[in-house]
């Protein structure tokens, strides 16, 4: 976990420097506002799923009840889907009022709507990481987060290269948001494959 956390922080630092060069101080400030709202939405979307899965699965496995662990996992995944879809719908449909009233900048609307699609994948990934942690497979849990960070960087860089003209902060923030969405999606698929193989 320590190694995974250190790798994540190192990658994040390097990517932050890249984003700063592409977006400038104003763009970084704008995306920070978006990230604050996204962080609040993601807190609701994941709603303690990671710890819940970890505890329930660990208890069932310790008791030798593998069917119970599987059942707990399915219930947590369903719960995560429902809650994250509510959070995603709220963020998507309230993006304009949030941008206008709370952030006071309509350039953030597109980014907020893109990030809304990332919330269900985040909830699923949290459940899967909790499962791996419960079974003492911390490497798989950390691996998913590292894959997420790398995918986030790769998608953002590709988006900046393909469709972000210099000085367009709306599209610059959207490209960074698209990177977050790509990172969550690829992390989910990676974790799901490991889960299905387990």
Handedness of CA 123, 194, 6, 180 (dihedral sign): negative
Contact 111, 177 (CB under 8 A): yes
- The CA distance from 106 to 103, in Å, is 8
Torsions phi, psi of 104, nearest 5? Answer: 55, 40
Residue from 148, 153, 135, 157 nearest 191 by CA: 148
Q: What is the pLDDT of residues 151-166, one digit of tens each?
A: 988 998 898 888 878 7
Q: What is the pLDDT of residues 31-90, one digit of tens each?
A: 899 999 999 999 999 888 889 999 999 999 888 888 888 899 999 999 999 999 999 999
Return the structure tokens found at 190.
């990676």
- The CA distance from 129 to 180, in Å, is 18
Q: What is the pLDDT of residues 83-92, one digit of tens each?
A: 999 999 999 9
- The CA distance from 46 to 81, in Å, is 9
**Structure letter (DSSP) for residue 102:** I
pTM, rounded to two decimals: 0.88
């Amino acid at each position: 976990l320590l190694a995974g956390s250190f790798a994540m922080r190192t990658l994040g630092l390097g990517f932050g420097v890249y984003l700063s060069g592409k977006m400038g101080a104003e763009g970084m400030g704008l995306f920070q506002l978006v990230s604050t709202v996204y962080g609040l939405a993601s807190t609701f979307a994941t709603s303690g799923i990671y710890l819940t899965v970890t505890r329930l699965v660990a208890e069932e496995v310790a008791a030798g009840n593998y069917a119970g662990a599987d059942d707990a996992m399915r219930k947590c995944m369903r719960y995560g889907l429902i809650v994250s879809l509510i959070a995603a719908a709220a963020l998507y449909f309230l993006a304009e009022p949030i941008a206008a009233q709370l952030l006071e900048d309509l350039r953030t609307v597109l980014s907020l709507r893109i990030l809304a699609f990332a919330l269900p994948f985040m909830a699923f990934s949290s459940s899967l990481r909790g499962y791996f942690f419960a079974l003492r497979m911390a490497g798989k849990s950390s691996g998913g987060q590292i894959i997420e960070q790398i995918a986030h960087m790769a998608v953002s860089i590709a988006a900046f290269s393909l469709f972000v003209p210099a000085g367009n902060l709306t599209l610059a923030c959207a490209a960074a948001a698209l990177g977050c969405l790509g990172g969550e999606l690829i992390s989910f698929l990676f974790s799901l494959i490991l889960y299905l193989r387990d």
